[in-house]
């Protein structure tokens, strides 16, 4: 199923997240995307913490990112998180990170719904599809 849902969240770059090049370290973006995802689904009414309590894990299976422009200490980044598609056990997010009017990075991740007990992939739960219903393409 394809969706058109997107959500915007802002994050300020911490001093700890800079490197000696003076840039936001390239490895920190994975954390920002995670925050983007968590807030995007919270806004739909799905609290990731509660998912885990129900025995559903959502690890990342693929991640790719293109860095367009460096970001700096204290910059306020806007993370636009989109849910593009859910097929079986997989959910596909895409992201645009901007700072003021500049594109900082573009990224995609694939996550897998995993049954905590069996450690096996499982279908995306119905209540999750339900929350996204009005954003179906």
Q: Residue 14 Cβ, how far from a second copy at the closest point, in Å?
A: 6
* Torsion angles phi and psi, residue 113, rounded to 5: -70, 125
19 in catalytic set? yes
Nearest by Cα to 137 from 95, 89, 87, 90: 87
* Of the candidate residues 4, 10, 64, 87, the single one contacting a second copy (CB under 8 A): 64
Nearest by Cα to 48 from 61, 29, 34, 62: 34
Cα–Cα distance list, 93 to 15, 40, 84 (Å): 27, 10, 6
* Of the candidate residues 6, 7, 23, 85, the single one contacting a second copy (CB under 8 A): 23
Q: Residue 4 Cβ, how far from a second copy at the closest point, in Å?
A: 25
Using rule CB under 8 A, residue 118 touches a second copy: no
Footprint of a second copy (CB under 8 A): 14-16, 18-23, 25-28, 30-31, 34-35, 38, 47-49, 52, 57, 59-67, 70, 72-74
Give the active site residues: 19
């Amino acid at each position: 199923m394809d969706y058109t849902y997107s959500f915007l969240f802002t994050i300020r770059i911490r001093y700890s997240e800079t490197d000696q090049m003076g840039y936001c370290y390239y490895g920190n973006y994975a954390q920002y995307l995670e925050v983007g995802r968590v807030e995007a689904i919270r806004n739909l009414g799905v609290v990731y913490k509660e998912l885990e309590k129900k025995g559903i894990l959502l690890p990342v299976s693929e991640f790719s990112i293109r860095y367009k422009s460096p970001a700096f200490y204290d910059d306020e980044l806007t993370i636009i998180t989109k849910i593009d598609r859910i097929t079986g056990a997989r959910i596909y997010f895409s992201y645009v990170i901007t700072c003021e009017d500049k594109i900082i990075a573009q990224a995609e991740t694939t996550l897998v719904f995993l049954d905590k007990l069996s450690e096996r992939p499982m279908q995306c739960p119905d209540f999750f599809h339900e929350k996204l219903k009005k954003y179906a393409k």
